[in-house]
Structure formats: structure tokens, C-alpha cells
Homo-oligomer: A and B are copies of this chain.
Amino acid sequence: MKPIYMDHHATTPLDPRVLEIMLPYLQEHFGNPSSSTHIYGEIAKKAVEAAREQVVQLLNAQNPAEIIFTSCATESNNMVLKGAVALSKVENPEIITIATEHKAILDTLKRLNRQGVVTRLAKIDKYGIVDLDSIKEMINDRTILITIQAANSEIGTLQPLRSIGQIAKEHNIPFHTDAVQALGKIKVDVEKDHIDFLSISAHKMYGPKGVGALYLRKGHRIAPLLDGGGQERGVRSGTLNVPGIIGLGKAAEIAGSDLTGEADRVRQLRDMLINGVLERIDQTTLNGHPTLRLPNNANLSFSYIEGESLILACKAFAVSTGSACSSETLKSSYVLKAIGVPDSLAHSSIRFGLGKSNTKEDITLLLDTLEKNVKRLRDMSPLYEMAQQGIDVDKFEWGEHKH
């Protein structure tokens, strides 16, 4: 039997309703939307435009032309940052962001730094929430963009989008948000939140892999990242991924409707999990904000136990230690580090990403499993032993790092 999936921040299963609507476009309706001389192209084009409308609805955008289909949120993020810099006439332009952004923001900024772009990291608190005054203080003549995510993929922290958007608007600076983890979980409204650019990845909201979108408010321009056939009004060339786009559209529609019932259901499971762990297992902590967090995220530290060994013990569950993209390396999470979690505790953290398939029974079983195995592994842990003896493992003089 496969483990119970609780890694919905890494990716989500395709909603069967999404697959169903995609299938004809993987079969008889295979046309290229740019083929304007025959019905195959026409059918594809119509379907793509319908999907665009569904994304418009989810975001409360004003105009289908504001939606650009891409291959993933990584592309959307790269497009916005690189595309804004490419058109900027400012010397050493500055971009305001925070240290807990996804790598698709941070590593893109790193590359831009080599071209003279300056990254300004606004302050965040111990929950990872951005300090609004810090943003205001950083704004100057050279600020060309504020990019702050809607929700963090590791610790689930939600950012005050509307307040950030308000600041950006007042200072006439474009505001981008990476909303990958937020869509379908919390309402994101590009009008009310004053968002100018927004990144989407379908596979994080029960849509297909290989397709994303960029919301690009009318009147704002960026240079394209992919040049070529001139699709998507020249902003993103390349044959449109028709089945993917149709899947994204349907997933967007479903995400919008999930905001009422499903988000609450999952929030209850999350609270059951968080409260269960904190009450039943001592020396555990919640990372991220207690309430201003994704309804499906619980990031918990189990002191004195290394995360992977606990994951191995909970083999009836599919969970991860952090973002899928960084779990191949041995480094501990830069997100936990950025909110001040000590390295030792960062190694003791597990991210639970709940989703539609999870039930109350799953949480009950998970809590039992955790309780039993935390005990087992602590009995095996020299750190736990030291702690029992009153030694502070974080202050202890350890030998030099070996690797």
C-alpha cells in the first residue's frame, strides 16, 4: 500500500475533473491554437481562451489579455524579475523582497545581481511575516519592483498582501506576488490587493504539471524571456500547451470554489495535527505563524531528533523535510534559518502539507505514529540524553564541522 500523501506543497494529484476535461485535448482536439486556417486550430484556440477566462475569474483580473500562460511558476517568476529589469532604465535598479521567498525568486535575483541589480531584503519577524515599515524605508528612486510571496511553501506563513500592495501603489512601484501556494487556499484578489504581477503553477492546485501562468496587469510591460513565434501577444513565445492550459483553467475554477468548504475542512485537520503534536509530544514547536498560515500547512520541529529519521519511521505517510527542490541536498532549510530557527532544530523539522485526500482518520493515525516514534528515536538520541541532564545542546562546545 502506498503511504498517505501529505506533501501537497511539493505537488498535488490531478483532480479527476481536471483530467477529464483535458483528455479530449490529448486526443482528437490536438490542434495548434496558432493554426488559424482550420478547425483543429480553432477548437484549440477557443478552449485556451475559455481557460484564460477561468484564470481571470480566480484572480478577479479585469481582462483575459492580462493572463499569460507559461510552463511553470519558476518561469513566471523569472519572467517578471528578468523582464522588469530588462526594460528598466534605472541604473543599479533595486528589487525589494524577503529572505524566505522561493528559490525561483532568490536565485533569479542572485543572477540579476551580477548585472548590477540590487536585492533589498525587507525585515521579517520570527513567523516570517514581512515588516511593512521596513519595506517603506527601503523604497527609493531606484526601486523598480516589490516581490513578496503570498504564502510560504515550507512554513505556510501568509503575507499581508493588501497592505504591501497599498504601499506599492502609493509609491507607484509594481508589486509582484508568487501566489503558487496560496491559490485555492486563501482568496487572492489582484484588484483589492493591488497586485500588478502574480505567478501561478497549476500542479500546486490539483492541476497538471508543466503549465503555469503570469498575471500581468494591463499597462505594465516586461520584456519576454522566450522569443519566437509571438504567441501570447509576443510576451511568451512557444506553441501553447493546450491540454495543460485547459487543465490549469479547470483547476483555477475548482480552486475558486474550494475557498469556501475545502479550505475550512483542511484547516480543521491542520489544527488537529498541530494541537495534537504540541499537546501529546513534549519539546515540539510549530514553525511559522499560529493563525496567519496556509490552512493546509503544519511545520513542526521535534527537538533532538533528526527529521529524516523520523520521516523514515513514519513510512505510512509521505511527508518531507522542506521544499522538494532543496531536499536532495543535505543543507537545512534556509527558510527556517531566516526566521531564526537554530540549525539543530531545523534538522529536526518536518513539513506536513495536507490536501483533499486527507481525512481525520489520517491525522489520528499520524499522531499515534509520531508519538511512538519520537519516543523511540529520542531514546536513541544522545542530544535528548544531554538535554535530560540539563545540558543546552545549542550552547555545548561541539567539535569542528566535518562536512
> Do the beta carbons of A228 and B10 come within 8 Å of each other?
no
Asked if A242 CB lies within 8 Å of chain B CBs, one says yes
Asked if A26 CB lies within 8 Å of chain B CBs, one says yes
> Do the beta carbons of A26 and B14 come within 8 Å of each other?
yes
A230 — nearest CB in chain B belongs to which residue? B325
Asked if A328 CB lies within 8 Å of chain B CBs, one says yes
Set of chain B residues within 8 Å of A342, measured between Cβ atoms: none
> Do the beta carbons of B35 and A239 come within 8 Å of each other?
no
- If A210-B210, A243-B209, A318-B40 touch, whether A226 touches B34 (CB-CB below 8 Å) is no
Interface centre among A11, A103, A210, A319 (most CB of B within 10 A): A210
Q: Kindly identify, within residues 23 to 44 of chain A, every residue whose CB is under 8 Å from any CB belonging to chain B.
A: 26-28, 30-32, 34-41
> Do the beta carbons of A229 and B326 come within 8 Å of each other?
yes
Asked if A96 CB lies within 8 Å of chain B CBs, one says no
Cα distance A254–B79 in the bound complex, in angstroms: 34
> Do the beta carbons of A324 and B243 come within 8 Å of each other?
no
> Do the beta carbons of B27 and A11 come within 8 Å of each other?
no
Q: Kindly identify, within residues 282 to 341 of chain A, every residue whose CB is under 8 Å from any CB belonging to chain B.
A: 308, 311, 317-321, 323-328
Interface of A is mostly: loop
Asked if A174 CB lies within 8 Å of chain B CBs, one says no
A307 — nearest CB in chain B belongs to which residue? B37
Asked if A215 CB lies within 8 Å of chain B CBs, one says no
Asked if A188 CB lies within 8 Å of chain B CBs, one says no
Set of chain B residues within 8 Å of A308, measured between Cβ atoms: 37
Asked if A196 CB lies within 8 Å of chain B CBs, one says no
Asked if A237 CB lies within 8 Å of chain B CBs, one says yes
Set of chain B residues within 8 Å of A5, measured between Cβ atoms: 38, 40
Chain A interface residue count, CB cutoff 8 Å, equals 76
Copy tally for this chain in the complex stands at: 2
Set of chain B residues within 8 Å of A110, measured between Cβ atoms: 227
> Do the beta carbons of A35 and B229 come within 8 Å of each other?
no
Asked if A107 CB lies within 8 Å of chain B CBs, one says yes
Cα distance A231–B326 in the bound complex, in angstroms: 9
> Do the beta carbons of B228 and A108 come within 8 Å of each other?
yes
> Do the beta carbons of A328 and B36 come within 8 Å of each other?
yes
Cα distance A19–B26 in the bound complex, in angstroms: 7
Set of chain B residues within 8 Å of A11, measured between Cβ atoms: 30-32, 35, 239
> Do the beta carbons of A78 and B2 come within 8 Å of each other?
no
Asked if A372 CB lies within 8 Å of chain B CBs, one says no
With beta carbons under 8 angstroms apart, the residue of B37, B102, B211, B240 that contacts A228 is B102
With beta carbons under 8 angstroms apart, the residue of B34, B39, B104, B201 that contacts A3 is B39
- If A26-B14, A78-B225, A227-B104 touch, whether A324 touches B237 (CB-CB below 8 Å) is no
Pick the 4 closest A-B CB pairs, nearest first: A229-B325, A210-B241, A71-B71, A104-B228
Q: A14-B26, A209-B242 are in contact. List 9 more A-B contacts (CB 8 A).
A: A7-B41, A11-B35, A34-B324, A38-B319, A72-B241, A74-B237, A104-B228, A210-B244, A244-B244
